[in-house]
Chain A
Amino acid sequence: MIINSAHGPGGKSKRFELIRTWRDRIFFVGFLLAILIGVAGLAALLIDVLIDGLGFLNWKFLTNYASRKPLESGILAPMAGTVWVVGLTAIFTVPVGIGTAIYLEEFARKNRLTRLIELNISNLAGVPSVIYGLLGLAVFVQFLFNGSRNLTAGALTMTLLILPIVIIASQEAIKAVPSSYRDAAYAMGATRWQVVKTVVMPQAVPGMMSGIILALSRAVGESAPILIISSLVWVTFVPTSPDSKFTVLPLQIFTWVSQPQEDFRSIAAAGIIVLLLILLGMNAVAIWIRNKYQVRSE
Chain B
Amino acid sequence: MSTNSGSNTASSSDSRLLPDEVLRRRRRQYLEQSIVAWLLRVTALISVLTTIGIVLILVVESVGFFSQVSVWEFVTGREWTPLFKPQKFGALPLIGGTLLVAVIAGLVSLTLGLGAAIFLSEYAPEGVRKILKPVLEILAGIPTVVYGYFALTFITPILQGMFGSDNVIIFNALSAGIVMGLMIMPMVSTLSEDAMIAVPRSLRDAAYALGATRFEVSTKVVIPAALSGIVASFILALSRAIGETMIVKIAAGATPNLTLNPLESIQAMTAYIVQISLGETAHGSIEYQTIFAVGLLLFVMTLAMNILGRVIISRFRQVYE
On A, residues with C-beta under 8 Å from B are 1, 3-5, 20-21, 23-24, 27-28, 30-35, 37-39, 41-42, 44-45, 48-49, 52, 95-96, 99-100, 102-104, 107-108, 117, 120-124, 126-135, 137-139, 142, 147, 160, 163-164, 167, 181, 184-185, 188-194, 197-199, 202-203, 217, 220-224, 227-228, 231, 233, 250, 253-254, 257-258, 265, 268-269, 272, 275-276, 279, 283, 295-297
Q: Assess the A194–B303 pair: CB atoms within 8 A.
A: no
Interface flag for B142 (CB, 8 Å) = yes
CB distance from B33 to the nearest CB of A (A): 4
How many chain B residues have a CB neighbour from A under 8 Å? 100
Given A38-B116, A131-B54, A217-B141, list of 5 further CB < 8 A pairs? A21-B213, A27-B218, A38-B189, A48-B154, A228-B273
Query: Can you list, as one digit per residue, whether each of B118-162 has a CB less than 8 Å from chain A (1) or not (0)?
Result: 111011000000001001101101111111111011100000000
A257 x B148 contact (CB < 8 A): yes
A103 near B44 with CB under 8 A, answer yes
Which residue in chain B gives the minimum CB-CB distance to A279?
B141
The residues of B with any CB-CB pair to A shorter than 8 Å are: 1, 3-7, 9-11, 29-30, 32-33, 36-37, 39-44, 46-48, 50-51, 53-54, 57-58, 61, 111-116, 118-120, 122-123, 132, 135-136, 138-139, 141-150, 152-154, 182, 185-186, 189, 207, 210-216, 218, 220, 236, 239-240, 242-246, 249-250, 270, 273-274, 277-278, 283, 291-292, 295, 298-299, 302-303, 306-307, 310
Please report the C-alpha to C-alpha distance between residue A117 and residue B236 in the assembled complex, in whole angstroms: 20
**A189: shortest Cβ distance to chain B, in Å?**
4
In the complex, which of the residues B111, B152, B185, B220 contacts A1, with contact meaning CB atoms closer than 8 Å?
B220
Output the least CB separation between A8 and chain B (Å). 14
Of A122, A131, A257, A269, which contacts B310 at CB under 8 A?
Answer: A122
A279 contact set on B, CB distance < 8 A:
141-143
CB-based contact B37/A107 at 8 Å? yes
CB contact between B144 and one of A127, A194, A221, A233 (< 8 Å): that residue: A221
Q: How far is the CA of A1 from the CA of B66 in the complex (A)?
A: 58
Residues of B within 8 A of A99 (CB): 39-40, 42-44
Given A39-B135, A227-B277: A127 and B47 interface contact (C-beta under 8 Å): no
Instruction: Name A32's contact: one of B32, B123, B139, B141 (CB within 8 Å).
Output: B123
What secondary structure prevails in chain B residues at the interface with A?
helix
**Would B1 and A295 count as touching, CB distance under 8 A?**
yes
- Is the CB–CB distance between B46 and A131 below 8 Å? no
Q: How far is the CA of A31 from the CA of B246 in the complex (A)?
A: 30
User: Interface SS of chain A: helix, strand, loop or mixed?
Assistant: helix
Q: Which of A132, A142, A190, A193 contacts B283 (CB 8 A)?
A: A142
Q: How far is the CB of B244 from chain A (nearest CB, A)?
A: 7
Question: Would A227 and B278 be within 8 Å (CB), given that A99-B39, A135-B57 are in contact?
Answer: yes
| Known contacts A1-B212, A128-B270: A188-B47 contact under CB 8 Å | no
Chain A residues lying within 8 Å of B119, measured Cβ to Cβ, are 31-32, 34-35
